[in-house]
């Protein structure tokens, strides 16, 4: 692993702002690429009845406390219930039964996470 260190005297605020802006811009476009691929993977993996849940995937990129994350969202809500989640985790029926969930989200996103990790590693290691 490589380590870069600086010894400096004085104010480094301007340098830090420039680095954050430069890195943020680059990471934003990379994250958007993977976020869009995640939406596509989730749409393709979602169990289909009407197709509404599969077509309701989207993403948002959230920046807080110096960290950036991708949040995949699904807007198909019925009676205050997120349909994508009950497909994933299962749900009770109105007649006392239970519908088993299908783990479709994790397998759909795993290749996206793996590619993101590989790309990040190549970026920081110079590979």
DSSP per residue, 21-70 = HHHHHHHHHHHHHHHHHHHHHHHHHS--SSSTTGGGEEEEEEEETTEEEE
Q: What is the pLDDT of residues 25-56, one digit of tens each?
A: 566 778 899 999 999 999 999 999 899 999 99
Residues 6 or more apart whose CB falls under 8 angstroms from that of 120 comprise none
Average pLDDT, the chain: 84
Q: Give pTM, 2 decimals.
A: 0.75
Predicted pLDDT of residue 28: 76
Q: Is 37 exposed, middle or buried (0-12, 13-18, 19+ CB in 10 A)?
A: middle
């Amino acid at each position: 692993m490589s380590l870069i260190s600086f010894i400096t005297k004085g104010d480094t605020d301007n340098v830090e702002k420039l680095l954050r802006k430069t890195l943020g811009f680059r990471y934003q476009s990379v994250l958007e690429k993977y976020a869009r691929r995640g939406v596509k993977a989730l749409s393709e993996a979602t169990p289909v009845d009407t197709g509404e849940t599969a077509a309701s995937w989207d993403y948002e990129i959230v920046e807080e406390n110096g960290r950036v994350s991708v949040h995949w969202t699904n807007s198909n809500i019925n009676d205050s219930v997120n349909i994508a989640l009950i497909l994933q985790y299962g749900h009770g029926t109105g007649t006392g039964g239970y519908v088993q969930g299908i783990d479709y989200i994790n397998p759909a996103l795993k290749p996206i996470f793996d590619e993101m990790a590989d790309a990040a590693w190549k970026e920081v290691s110079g590979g």
